[in-house]
Amino acid sequence: MSHPNIVTLFDRGEVDDQLWITMEYVDGTDAGALVSDGPLECDLALDLVGGAGAALDYAWRKQGITHRDVKPTNILVGVDEGRVESVKLADFGIAKAVGEATSLTSTGMTVGTMQYVSPEAIEGRDLDNRADVYSLGCTAFHLLTGRPPFDGGSLTALLSAHLTQAPPSVGSVAPHLPAGLDAVFAMALAKDPVNRFGSCGEFVSALRGVVAGPPFAHTVAAVPVVAEPKRFTRVLAITAAVLAVLLVAGIGAGVYLLRDDDKAAPVAVSTSTATVVPTVTITSTPTETTVTPVETYTPEETVDLTTAAPEPYEGMPCNYSEFGQENASGTLYCSAMDGAWRDKTHQSRPAVEQGSACSEPGARARVAGTDGLATCSADSSGGYSWQF
């Protein structure tokens, strides 16, 4: 992907079973470091959120990709002589294409990430760009008010808040901000993706409209509906997420961007042109859900969420308790890198050229210069060659 608000990746590879990437160096800081000293000025916060939102909309529009880890520390800020020079979104490490379910065991899903994760990601549902709208909404709330919208005393409480609680009033956290922002965040952080903004650009435009102009309207017609089956699903989702995050938090960190922490934080930024957004009325149907409290995980507790273990296949998700295990035939192993079953037969063979001849039908090997795998298969000549 090539976009002025996305950090450019140059190359990738593997050395001694360690994956590496090289990427653009951003001389400056990140939004997480900036907000650590308190809320940002509205213009600066909106510039950062606007840049990240443009990157997310581009990734979705051009490639059908969702980032899935939007948070302040992944918004890099290039600084030149005390002024913001660039805003770039980094770390697409757990990004996936449309239609793929998320997994809280994925590399990068840390406790910090959970402050910005969408309800549908917690529940392991298929995600689209509105999951990133939710995460960008949590990020914008943090930059404008100085704290994330949901910040429970425990991981269980935090995940439960994402699933069941409305975001706090902006005025209760940052009284200096316009009251009209409450309606914008109510829509961006709606529990049901259907009730959110359709793109990050729409969300950012609504934010700018409130800061610079008339209030944004968001009305709700309350029609209570009891939905008992949701209780069990969400309790399991919260419990499973707690187990996954506690393990992943202990896994060694990957390769990240080098950042110049000695640089001074920006002290001035050009004022963005404000766009007044027309009044929008949203009607939603809230669901009354009974939530059963879940005890915080301790090492003595065990949770059995499965009844039978299906025979694994390549790409099938696996959980933390299976990391490093092999299947019965010894051809697959559970990878902690991406939380899925991966072929291991290629590990005993050197890399091959795609289309070159082979003599072991069904064998696997890594394609030279890539991270893809080829299979020894019959070709049109009547022989066998390495093919994707």
**Positions marked catalytic:** 69
- Angle, helix 42-63 to helix 129-145, in steps of 10 degrees: 170
The gap between the terminal CA atoms of the chain, to the nearest Å, is: 23
How many angstroms separate the CA atoms of 354 and 329, rounded? 26
Contacting residues for 136 by C-beta, under 8 A, at least 6 apart? 49, 52, 53, 56, 70, 188, 200, 203
Contacting residues for 185 by C-beta, under 8 A, at least 6 apart? 137, 140, 141, 149, 167, 170
DSSP notation for 155-192: HHHHHHHHHHPPPPPHHHH-TTS-TTHHHHHHHHT-SS
Q: Are strands 364-366 and 96-97 parallel, antiparallel or unpaired?
A: unpaired
Instruction: Say if CB 380 and CB 346 are below 8 A apart.
Output: no
Question: Vertex 156, ends 154 and 160: CA angle to 5°?
Answer: 120
Instruction: Say if CB 144 and CB 178 are below 8 A apart.
Output: no
Q: How far is CA 358 from its chain centroid?
A: 40
- The two three-digit tokens of residue 160, written as one number: 């439960």
